A and B are shown apart, each in its own frame.
Chain A
């Protein structure tokens, strides 16, 4: 160390440098990924890359070396007013190679190159050789984890560098005139050189003038001055410390001119523009005394590996799966799209409720495919299919989850093919398929012990599937197959959404959701629709089933028959029927003719089924929500998404929908108390009786048989009722509405009453016979 013991106390301070902090643009990793996949592949040889640093940061920002996605173009342009830093990339093929790479040797190699450049004076021509860096990387492209470790090699003075005076700002040191002169001179030098930033330069100043010059002109510029001023383009914003680029410059000066100068003044040049206003006032000036450094002594000690986020010597890792893993991108994009709805259009939308709903789709045909797609649109992740059919050649054009290829060699099972396709459409989906049959009333299973056993297993599986899901969609093509899941879901208090198609008509409905079981033990049977909620009287199933009064005749005073029905009193798919399912010889209801339907119908009905579910989920009472009717279309909607109807009946010929609501029927063959009691008490034993018996078993059980005998007269009444309405066209009573709005709704209400009271009698006979 040069003799400096006469200096003040502050002289004992050693100069400290703010290290570079690596700063990587997201695009850098994208580009590295591309390079690795397309260019480097398994090539681990060093690659030239390029970064830059900037001296115009506002206070508080770290001293950064930035690499953008353009970093791989080492000859490319540097951003304006930034200094380039050339680097070497070592991209390793394996994590092992990354770990075991000899970092010390890499640093020493780089330090030696800098040392050589200093000794050979190559740096004078190209000062950027002083600010080189190393980057060691390993890209785990399966997980999109990037491991990296930067090194900013700096040669060291063993004894450190003595600070002669505390650093001061340029504003304190220079007069405004000098500052302006410096700025002008610097800009002039920039334009001389043809650049917008100069990493190192020399400064001479008097009271009147400030001159600057490139590093290489040292000898002519200073002409033997003992006290010199050098400037470094300083990316640091700290008021007491210079940034990293100064380190190797000082080594250069000490090596080359150390013996010729006594004192070195360093201008840490900082050049900021805020709101269009430029300032270099906050640059700092340092007074230092440089130790001597012999050119012949060999390369000095070097440092430079960057510490990690924990402040320890170690590499860093960044996990970019969110922005690079296509699956994660798909998920976040889907979610973001949905969130947009919430942000602006429906702020109170509870998306989590929808997204987390586990949906069981019974049937993977035209309805099932469309329901699944709409569910995915809503971000629903958990979708399970049950179907026993194989894909046939007619399917793909109507069933959007299948392709021609799926039909070959007998066809793939629908439930499984649908799952595969869902995962292809959106890998984030949790889909499951079950290729199984659902036992049906009137379809005997008692041919052999084996068939009974199979039926028992099927029932058990269906029970456990329904139990494992939140919403059950009934999307089958037969009426009978809906019976068992209706019973099980009613018993398990699961929300059921049912969709069924006619030729150009459809019904989409939610089943009434029975009150939770523990409240029933209070003595009343709420599912018995004939008991008024107010009375709370115990109407046991026996009296209910023996009653010949149609459900709904006992009303809350003041409310009309079909308005304001709470969710637990709503009917199910079978409540409107006065025949038990399972008999295909009798007149089919409208929605039984589903094999032939207008092609757009399944898409409409499937979409509506999902939208109905979503609206119900948004209602604070969920499945217990009071049913909205067509009349409510003018009223304040009960949910953020609008109405919560019981049924949507659509008439494609008229391009019209109506929203009927109907009460649970105490003689319903699926959800009446007596059926549920029998199922819950006797389980498969009861179910197998239903499967193996004719339809009369359920009709006898529920009291429908008795009711049948009373329907004749009522039907006549119904016909009269229809005929006295103004202008109904009896050849087409469904499709034709009187013009006046009020009349229309009256008419619908009347029709709904008829449907409710006489179920299958009205629609098929109304359509076919009249």
Chain B
């Protein structure tokens, strides 16, 4: 459930795979209780797997870039429709034309990276017909605060890469800086002798950057009302107390602007 002995040591900003699994298990239990939609996807015939969540949202999609100048679906399709084999059959029982053109499906996968010994966030977004959005289009869906932050933050690099387990192209937040920004969080937690779920903390930092919300309720016990951050000592902790942020600032571990945005995001979640 907790990040384990290793991760709590002064040098323990890395995560071994076993701890990753345990953190995920705990996270998934929470998700299930909160109906937050995370699931564990086992890759068939292997021991490996990943956490997955799908989020739907309505957004602006630049259809012209999505269609990419190739023959528009409609033009090709009309020829087929004209065959006249299928007509409406006078179905008067449908109220509204099916919406859906502006619906975007965001898919988030959390994997373990052996080489960086950290979790990695893979993501992609697509329209409902399965056509993936370009990174620019994904960008447009992200809150401007985060867009700016992504350009500056220590969790900076988005790259395109094949998903290591399912072999399909995904974007991912490169884990090369993960240990850097997790270290102070872990050290503070360690110094104050508090337990912390690596996945919750990590995901609450990197998720919002790509439109993934991690509700603060992940650090509440089930059924209890929301508590101020600094009352959470008995439970799994997502964030260090206010003083710890100062520590992080003074250590220069985090970009101050980015950090402020993060705090803002949490206060919104709070409301």
Contacts and interface: CB of A to CB of B under 8 A. Distances in A.
Given A62-B98, A63-B98, A318-B130, A26 B168 contact: yes
B128 A64 contact: yes
Interface centre among B35, B58, B99 (most CB of A within 10 A): B35
Interface string B184-226: 0000000000000000000000000000000101001000000
A22 B128 contact: yes
B126 interface: yes
Contact of B83 (A100, A107, A238): A100
Contacts of B129: 22, 24, 316, 318
A306 B128 CA distance: 14
Contact of B217 (A238, A276, A319): A276
Interface centre among A26, A305, A315 (most CB of B within 10 A): A26
A107 B105 CA distance: 29
Contacts of B160: 329, 332-333, 336
A422 B91 CA distance: 57
A309 interface: yes
Given A62-B99, A340-B157, A344-B156, A29 B92 contact: no
A315 B97 CA distance: 15
B77 interface: yes
Contact of A17 (B94, B103, B151): B94
B103 A62 contact: yes
A340 B158 contact: yes
Given A104-B85, A308-B77, A317-B73, A26 B35 contact: no
Interface in A285-312: 301-303, 305-312
B87 interface: yes
B68 interface: yes
A237 to B, nearest CB: 10
A240 B95 CA distance: 9
Contacts of B103: 23, 61-62
B128 A21 contact: yes
Contacts of B86: 103-104, 107, 305, 313
B67 interface: yes
A216 interface: no
Interface residues of B, number: 64
Nearest to B63: A309
A154 B91 CA distance: 10
Contacts of A16: 92-95
Contacts of A273: 34-36
B30 to A, nearest CB: 9
Contacts of B97: 307, 311
Interface stretch (A320-328, A412-420, A622-630): A320-328
B251 interface: no
B151 A276 contact: no
B130 A312 contact: no
A103 B83 CA distance: 10
Nearest to A272: B35
Majority secondary structure, A binding face: mixed
A673 B20 CA distance: 72
A278 B156 CA distance: 35
A18 interface: yes
Interface residues of A, number: 83
Interface in A420-472: none
A714 B126 CA distance: 73
Contacts of B58: 60-61
Contact of B132 (A21, A308, A313, A323): A323
A765 interface: no
B40 to A, nearest CB: 11
A275 interface: yes
Contacts of A103: 85-86
A301 B87 CA distance: 13
Interface in B41-99: 54, 56, 58, 67-68, 70, 73-74, 76-81, 83, 85-89, 91-99
A536 interface: no
B242 interface: no
Contacts of B83: 99-100
A64 to B, nearest CB: 7
Contacts of B124: 26
A323 to B, nearest CB: 5
B107 interface: yes
Contacts of B134: 322, 332
B168 A62 contact: no
Interface centre among B70, B151, B166 (most CB of A within 10 A): B70
Interface string A680-703: 000000000000000000000000
A313 B98 contact: no
Interface string A330-341: 001100110110
Interface string B96-140: 111111010101000000000000000010101111101100000
B32 interface: yes
Given A21-B98, A21-B128, A69-B166, A340 B159 contact: yes
A316 to B, nearest CB: 6
A79 interface: yes
A275 B215 contact: yes
B141 interface: no
B35 A23 contact: no
Nearest to A241: B95
A314 B96 CA distance: 17
B169 interface: yes
A27 B107 CA distance: 10
A165 interface: no
A154 B88 CA distance: 13
A310 B74 contact: yes
Nearest to B82: A314
A208 interface: no
A714 to B, nearest CB: 56
A276 B167 CA distance: 32
A81 B34 CA distance: 12
A126 interface: no
Interface in B139-170: 151-152, 156-160, 166-169
A103 B167 CA distance: 34
Contacts of B54: 25
A591 to B, nearest CB: 40
A15 interface: yes
B29 interface: no
B142 to A, nearest CB: 13
Contacts of B152: 344
B265 interface: no
Interface centre among A29, A303, A321, A347 (most CB of B within 10 A): A303
B169 A323 contact: yes
A26 B91 contact: no
Contact of B95 (A17, A29, A100, A314): A17
Interface string A167-193: 000000000000000000000000000
A79 B92 contact: no
Given A19-B98, A278-B35, A307-B98, A26 B126 contact: yes
A247 interface: yes
A56 interface: yes
20 contacts: A21-B98, A24-B128, A25-B54, A26-B130, A26-B131, A63-B98, A81-B35, A160-B92, A303-B93, A307-B98, A308-B77, A309-B73, A309-B74, A312-B77, A312-B81, A322-B68, A322-B132, A323-B132, A332-B134, A336-B160
Interface of A: 14-30, 56-57, 60-64, 69, 79-81, 98-100, 102-104, 107, 143, 145-147, 154, 156, 160-161, 238, 240-241, 247, 273, 275-276, 278, 301-303, 305-323, 329, 332-333, 336-337, 339-340, 343-344, 347
Enumerate the 7 nearest inter-chain pairs by beta-carbon distance, A residue then B residue, closest first: A314-B81, A273-B35, A16-B95, A24-B130, A276-B217, A276-B34, A317-B73
Given A18-B94, A102-B85, A319-B73, 11 more contacts: A26-B124, A30-B168, A62-B100, A104-B85, A238-B96, A247-B93, A311-B97, A312-B78, A313-B87, A318-B130, A344-B156
